[in-house]
Structures are given as structure tokens and as C-alpha cells.
Amino acid sequence: MTQTIGIDIGGTGIKAAIVDVVSGEFIGEKIKVGTPAGAIPGDVARVCHELVEQLDPGGSLLVGVCFPAVIIDDVAFSASNVDESWVGLNVGDLLEATLGRRVHVVNDADAAGFAEYMFGAARGVQGLVLVTTLGTGIGSALIYNGVLVPNSELGHMTLPGRHNRTAEQLAANVVRERKRLSWSRWAEHLQVFYETLEMLFSPTLFVVGGGVSKEYENFLPLLTLRTPIIPAEHFNNAGILGAAALVPIER
């Protein structure tokens, strides 16, 4: 079956679409609703159920979900920008019980990164592709020769010379917005982040995702790196695409 439902659960919105996982295209429209206040698991699961039934009424398409947390075997092990009650929860079991369908769960940046490798800016690139998403948090995905190394969480890395602050605390896009940082001031933080990643991982390619990557011309040219650094292609659709594409075929 090449059609799978992808759902991207975020702190502000929940987006879903049917994805052709061979071509990486949406079948029909993407739908989006606001995340219920508090982002409590039961409320989020109910919204996912409504979205799935809207896309595939009474059907049995498999569902791939991405979520902003460390996810191991469908269980959440962190909660940076969502309610603490997700920690330790088997998100897959909760959603399977609510949706009545098979569900597979992955980290949101892993999903976005894998989508860029499969269908986007890093399509088919061999070696190490390091994808970062700059949004409310900073997410990361490592894809080596097409294999995803999950849960890298590089946005929580403490940056050198930055008073024990993490990349996410200094350089998330919400920090730029909240502090009204100029592009050049923000790029100074990004420079430290990416040069540290470059020193530690020597990637073949950096891909920069998240909604702000649409405005890449304002900040990517300000970075000095030996590694090529390019904007993502799928912006806010990458999570849906990757979540769907990562659903194991045998499930």
C-alpha cells in the first residue's frame, strides 16, 4: 500500500494529509487544526481521530505520526514544548486505541529530515546529511547513506562560549522573534551552532528546515562554513511526509 496518513503534532497546530509514500506527494488537501489548549494526550488523540476520519472516513490506512520528543518504540522520553504528561507514555498505543488503526510514532525532526532525504533538498545524498529544524525548538536529524540515526536532539547541545546556554535557547526561531533579533545577530548564534556541529560530525550536507527556512536568503548567506548548507524544500509539510514515509511496511 503506497498511501499512508501522516500527522505532525506540534505545540501550536496538528497537521495531517494522505501521503503517497513512493512519490512523496499529498493525495488531496492537507488539513490543520490548532493544538488543544494544554496539549494533554487525550485531547490531542481525539483531534488526531477527527483528522484521520476526515481524510479517510471509516477506512484503514496506516498512520505515521511525528511528535516533538525523543521517541523510542513509540514511547515518548522527553517533552520540551508539550505537556509533561507525555513523558513515559506509549503514544502509539494511545493513538491506536483512539484511532482504531495501526500507528507508528517518530520524532518530528527525524520525520522532517527523512522527508528531505527521500523527497526534498537532500534527495539521495550519500554520506552524512544533517538536517536541523529551526522553530519553537531546534530539532535535528542525522541520515547516513539513507539510514536515519534517530533521536539526535542536537538542539539541546550547549554552545561553546555562550554561558552554558543551548542552541535552542539561543537560536530557535521563536527566540529571534521574541527578542526581535536582527538577521545578522541571529546568524551569529547560528554560526556557533553550525560550526560546532561541523567540527563534531563533519557532515556532507546541512539542510535547514522549519518555517523560517523560507526566508533563508536573510541568514544562510551570512554563515561561513566549509560544509554546504541549503534550505529545506518541504518547510512545514516535511513532518507529515516523513512520518508517513517512516511507517514500517510490514506493519
> Which residues of the chain form contacts with ligand BGC (CB under 6 A)?
68-70, 78, 80-81, 107-109, 133, 135, 137, 139, 153, 155, 168
Measured from the CB atom, the residue of 4 and 140 that comes closer to ligand BGC is 140
Judged by beta carbon, residue 61 or residue 82, the one nearer ligand BGC is 82
CB of 60 to ligand BGC, least distance (A): 29
- Cβ neighbours around 60 below 10 Å, total: 9
Q: How many CA atoms are closer than 13 Å to the CA of 58, on its beta-carbon side? A: 0
Q: Which of 103, 138 has the CB closer to ligand BGC?
A: 138
Q: How far is the CB of 139 from ligand BGC (least distance, A)?
A: 3
Closer of 18 and 159 to ligand BGC (Cβ) = 159
Nearest CA to 125 out of 25, 24, 203 is that of 203
Q: How far apart are alpha carbons 251 and 246 in whole angstroms?
A: 11
Residues ≥6 apart with Cβ < 8 Å to 178: none
Q: Which long-range contacts (CB under 8 A, 24 or more apart) does 218-222 make?
A: 218/183, 219/183, 219/186, 219/187, 219/190, 222/183, 222/184, 222/187, 222/191
Of residues 96 and 168, the one with the C-beta less far from ligand BGC: 168
Shortest separation between residue 237's beta carbon and ligand BGC, angstroms: 15
For the CB of residue 63, give the shortest distance to ligand BGC in the complex, in Å.
19
Nearest-angstrom CA–CA distance, 30 and 203: 33
Q: In the bound complex, what is the minimum distance in angstroms from residue 161's beta carbon to ligand BGC?
A: 22
Q: How far is the CB of 134 from ligand BGC (least distance, A)?
A: 9
For the stretch 143-156, what's the b/e string if a residue is b when 16 or more beta carbons lie within 10 angstroms of its beta carbon? beeeebebbbbbbb
CA–CA distance from 67 to each of 131, 191, 223 (Å)?
A: 16, 27, 29
Residue nearest ligand BGC, CB atom distance: 137
By C-beta, is 120 or 137 nearer to ligand BGC?
137
